[in-house]
Amino acid sequence: MRYQKGWVNAGRMVLLLCVVGGVGGAVPSVFADEQVVDLNSPEAIRHTLEQQTGKRIKLKLQSGQDLEGKVSKVGSNVVVISELSGMEFFDATVRVDQVAAVIVRVRTK
């Protein structure tokens, strides 16, 4: 398309709209996905589990046992882990105060 005096093609209009209004609104949404956990809270483990609902995690229990699966539900005292690794047809209900660590995959190569 040829540029004519007083006429702006659709591509330039889209670019103008992105520069003026679209880019400024998109930048804060990138930072909105950050997960914030108060590390000094006695319920930090429970809050971390709530943020991982529907995702696969590994739990390290105080007994030393590892459980890997998908977080289904998080209550005030227990968490339900479904689709356990190696035992896909089973679910586990774990007391939150027995969880020593929550291991979450956050990066890929």
Taken in order of first residue, the domains within the chain and their CATH numbers are: 1-34 (no CATH), 44-103 (2.30.30.100)
Q: What is the pLDDT of residues 66-87, one digit of tens each?
A: 999 999 999 999 999 999 999 9
Higher pLDDT, 25 or 75: 75
Reported as type and span, the H/E element at residue 68 is strand 66-74
The residue type at 24: G
Whether this model's pTM surpasses 0.75: no
Nearest to 67 by CA among 98, 37, 38: 98
Ranges 5-19, 27-41, 51-65, 69-83: which has the least confidence: 5-19
104, 88 contact by CB (below 8 A): no
Q: What is the C-alpha to C-alpha distance for residues 52 and 82, in angstroms, rounded to an integer?
A: 13
Q: What is the C-alpha to C-alpha distance for residues 86 and 27, in angstroms, rounded to an integer?
A: 41
